[in-house]
Every structure is written in C-alpha cells, then in structure tokens.
Amino acid sequence: MKLSKKLIILGVTSSLSMPLLAGSLDSPAAPTVSGSAMYTIEDIHKRLTDGTAGTKRTGSFTEPASGPTTGTGHTLTDVMDIAPTQDTTDGADPNDVTDGKTYWGLTNGNWGPKTGTAGGCAGTMNGTRWCDNGDGTVKDLSTGLVWLQKADWGGQKQWDSNGNDNAFVRAGTLKDGSTDANLSDGSEEGDWRLPTKKELVGITDPAGTEPVSTGAMGAFTGVQASSYWSSTTYASNAVFAWYVYLDDGYVDYGNKTNTFYVWPVRGGK
C-alpha cells in the first residue's frame, strides 16, 4: 500500500512540473488586410441570376444578432445549378454573333468573353448578304468570311504539285498593297488562304442566298467562267481535290496537277 501511494504522488508531482504556456482564449480579430476580403455565396448567386456586382466584405467583424432565416440563403449547390454549361450543339461561335459584339462563349472550347465576327457592315451593302468594305475586300455577312474582291487576282495555278508556285502559295502571298489586288485592308502575308470546299460552295451554290457567278458577280469583280480550287482533298483519292465551276456553281473534283483559278479568303474557322 505504501508503494502505491508513492507512485501516485510521483505522478502528480511530474505533471505539475510541466511548463504552462501563456495565451488568450478570446476569439481572433477579423482579417485587416484588404486582399482577404471575400464575396458571399449570396453575392455570387445574385451575380449569376441578375448581374448584380456584389460587394466584398471588408472592415471589422460584426457578430450576427441571430441565425439565418430559413429559405433566405443559398448553397454552393444552388450556385452550381445556375452556373452556365458548355453547349456544343446550339451555342454561339464568333461567326454566329454580330461583328464587334461581345458575348460569353460556351461552344466547342470557346469558354469566356468573346467578340463576334459575323454580320455588321462598315462599308456599302450589295444585296442583303455582301458588304463591300471599300478596301478591296467583300465580307459575307452570313459567315463573317472576308473574300478578295478581285476574283481573278490569283490567276490559274496547280493545286500543290508545282513546288513554290501553286494555289496555296499564291493565296498565302496576298497582303495589303499586293500588286493588282487593290488591297488596303491592313492584312499581312499569311492572313489569306485557299477556301475550303464548304466555303467555296457556300458562296456559289445556285440554291443559296445571293450566289456568286459570272452572270451575277454582285459586289465582286473578275469572276471567271472557269474552275476555282478549294483547299479540300478528295477523301477517296488524295490525287484529286475539289473545285467549283463559277459559271454555274458546278462542283466536282479534279487532278491536283490541273491549273484552276485561286480565290483567296480570310477569317472563319
């Protein structure tokens, strides 16, 4: 029994000999650095629903007088429920939005503030589709694509079979001040390219809106009653590429060694 009492006394003594750390049991003060100020979930929810800017919480902390009232607050789940989601089916791309207008892009990876490129004419309208920009270019308001006004400037070239003198090279050399192009649009070498099959068919299809042909040049000049190259290879045989006959909009594919006209375009996807 005496031994047990000694062990108990020694244990108490050892405990009492440990150092005591000083400190305050009061709640810490609110942050005073302005960078630590934050929006509330309610602020974020209102910004998403009606555009309210919200105000970051700053200054001294004020103890709430009472708990939250049922139904007046929102949760993170509520915020996520109204947050925008990506729409790759019907969402807008720059070519779908009027030129110069800003929008929030949610299509095909175009996430964030964007500026539209389609529509809007700063020059002279020719019909309802074509805008003569007055600088040697014509803008297609239905797609936002910009075409060289002189449809015969590119001349006739092989598709890509002739080294440094082919359709792709010819289109790529076009720039502001190019000889005989009457171009003063500020474009640089490399801005222009050969149109795709879809793009070329899109402006010449007789069933389309205000199609371009030798008999209906509209805002363009020098449209030839001849074949024009597209940049699209014939899928079943890479020896061939697609072209459009501008006299009547006929579409076919031909051997890339053929010499067809080059009509440069810029913009688009």
pLDDT at 120 over 50: yes
7 falls in which pLDDT band (50, 70, 90)?
Answer: very low
Higher pLDDT, 19 or 36: 36
29 falls in which pLDDT band (50, 70, 90)?
Answer: low
pLDDT at 269 over 60: no
Could you read off the pLDDT of 128-183 as tens digits, one per residue? 999 999 999 999 998 889 999 999 999 999 999 888 899 999 999 999 999 799 99
Q: Ramachandran region of residue 144, left (φ > 0), alpha (ψ -120 to 50) or beta?
A: left
Beta pairing, strands 110-115 & 265-266: unpaired
Average pLDDT along the chain: 84
Q: Poorest-confidence range of 38-47, 81-90, 145-154?
A: 81-90
pLDDT at 14 over 60: no
* Cα separation, 96 vs 124, whole angstroms: 21
Higher pLDDT, 116 or 12: 116
Higher pLDDT, 32 or 175: 175
What's the pLDDT score for residue 68?
62
pLDDT at 35 over 70: no
Higher pLDDT, 167 or 33: 167
What's the pLDDT score for residue 95?
64
What's the pLDDT score for residue 201?
97
267 falls in which pLDDT band (50, 70, 90)?
Answer: confident
What does pTM read for this prediction? 0.60
* Cα separation, 163 vs 79, whole angstroms: 58
pLDDT at 10 over 50: no
Could you read off the pLDDT of 217-246 as tens digits, one per residue? 999 999 999 999 999 999 999 999 999 999
What's the pLDDT score for residue 113?
81
Burial class (CB in 10 A: 0-12, 13-18, 19+), 69: exposed
63 falls in which pLDDT band (50, 70, 90)?
Answer: low
What's the pLDDT score for residue 152?
97
Higher pLDDT, 129 or 71: 129
